[in-house]
Structure formats: C-alpha cells, structure tokens
Amino acid sequence: MITEPPPIEEDLLTVADELRRRLLSGQYRGGEQLRDTDLSQEFGVARPTVRAAIQTLVADGLLERGRGRSAQVRSFTAEDAIDLYQVRRPIETAAVDLMLSRAQPVEGVNAALQQFTALGDDVSWDVVADHDVAFHRAVFTAAGSVRLLRTFDEVSAELRLLIAQLRPAYASVSDLAHEHELLLVALRTGNAQRARVAWGEHFNHSERFFLDLIQERAR
C-alpha cells in the first residue's frame, strides 16, 4: 500500500496564501471548482498539502467542500448577504458604543483611513478589500473587547470575499474610501447617537448595494 507523504508546513502555507490572494482579488468566480490534482500539478506539491491548504480556506469560509468532492469557491446568495450583515450589525454597533463610552482615541481608526484614502484607483481589489476590513477592524481594536474583535475576525474573511466578488460595482476606490471618511467624522463628534446613525446608514447602503448586485447577477 502506497502512503502519501504528510503535508510540509512551508508548502502548505505558500499554497494557502496564494489561493487566498486569488480568491480575495476576484480571480476565481463564485461556484468555480478547484481540483486537488490540478492545484498539485500547478504548485508542484503533493496532494495532501493541497488538501490541507484547501481545508484551511474552508475553515475561513472562503471555500466549500463536500465529502468526496472538489473544493468550490464560496458564492453568495441574497440570503447569505443578509445573514452576514445580521451578524455584523450588532457587534460593530456594540464596538462603536464601547469606543465612545470609554472615550477611546481614534488614532488607530484614522491611521487605517489614511492608508485607505491613499490607494489609487488602479490598485488590485484584494488590496481594497484588505483596507476596507482594516478600517472596521481598527474600530473593534479601539473598543477594547477581545470577544467582539474575535467575532468580527471570524466573519471578516467572508466579508472580504463578498467585496472581492462584487468588485466591479464601485465606480472608484475613492468612492468607497469616502464612505469611511464619513464614519470617522461621526466618531470624532463623540456623540453615540450620531455615530449609530452613521453606521446604520453605512450598513443599509452596503447591504442594499450587495443585495441588488447579487440579484442582478442571478438573472
């Protein structure tokens, strides 16, 4: 009986990182299959290494895999987008409330925004998704709740994939960055009610935006 060699950690990380980059840059379409054999040949690694890398991305919510089937790129239905925001809304609103009630400084959020607004419109969309998520993660970090931050990190991979798959929808990176400038303005007022309203409008716009696009592409 021939046994397959165990995955090599360095190769596993290399394959997982490159597949993640491709997924978050929109290189793979939602629903596209990724076959172990093809990836093994492309990367020049053993199939167990590919399978382990894929399992890492399944755990991140970027890929799906049934028993005995090839991995498939996660795709989003309207219901998925709604469900994602049902998780995201309350935890991020709680983070904003905590940040303001504790009078936490906004320097970290501002630094994330400056990096976001510095992006050019020709930058790859995986970088845009990174900066979008980094802005919101900075709010959780400033709030000082380890559990809220951990929950956000668990859903952020799916959020980044959703942004990547819908990347043609924004006219420019600057349009998206400007939405986040308005959130920081609301934070700087120190007024919790104003900040909640700003975040609520941001969520409403984003959710409606994603739902319209998902439904349009399903036709």
Would you say residue 193 lies in a domain?
yes
What would the pLDDT profile of 22-37 be if each residue is shown by its tens digit?
888 778 888 899 999 9
Please tell me the distance from the alpha carbon of residue 95 to that of residue 101, in angstroms, as a whole number.
10
157 and 52 inside one domain: no
Specify the CATH number for the domain of residue 119: 1.20.120.530
- Torsions phi, psi for 120 (to 5 deg): -85, 160
Q: 């984003």: which residue's tokens? A: 206
Q: How far is residue 45 from each of residues 2, 16, 32, 65, 203, measured CA to CA in Å?
A: 17, 12, 21, 20, 42
CA angle 83–89–95, rounded 5-degree value: 145
196 and 116 inside one domain: yes
What would the pLDDT profile of 114-147 be if each residue is shown by its tens digit?
999 999 888 877 788 889 899 999 999 999 999 9
187 and 92 inside one domain: yes
pTM: 0.79
What would the pLDDT profile of 45-77 be if each residue is shown by its tens digit?
999 999 999 999 998 888 998 777 889 998 888
Q: Where among 73, 96, 121 does a domain terminate?
A: 73
160 and 211 inside one domain: yes
Q: Where among 52, 73, 94 does a domain terminate?
A: 73
59 and 131 inside one domain: no
Specify the CATH number for the domain of residue 40: 1.10.10.10
**Residue-range definition of the domain harbouring residue 196:** 78-218
Strand order in the sheet with 63-64: 33-34, 71-73, 63-64
Would you say residue 1 lies in a domain?
no
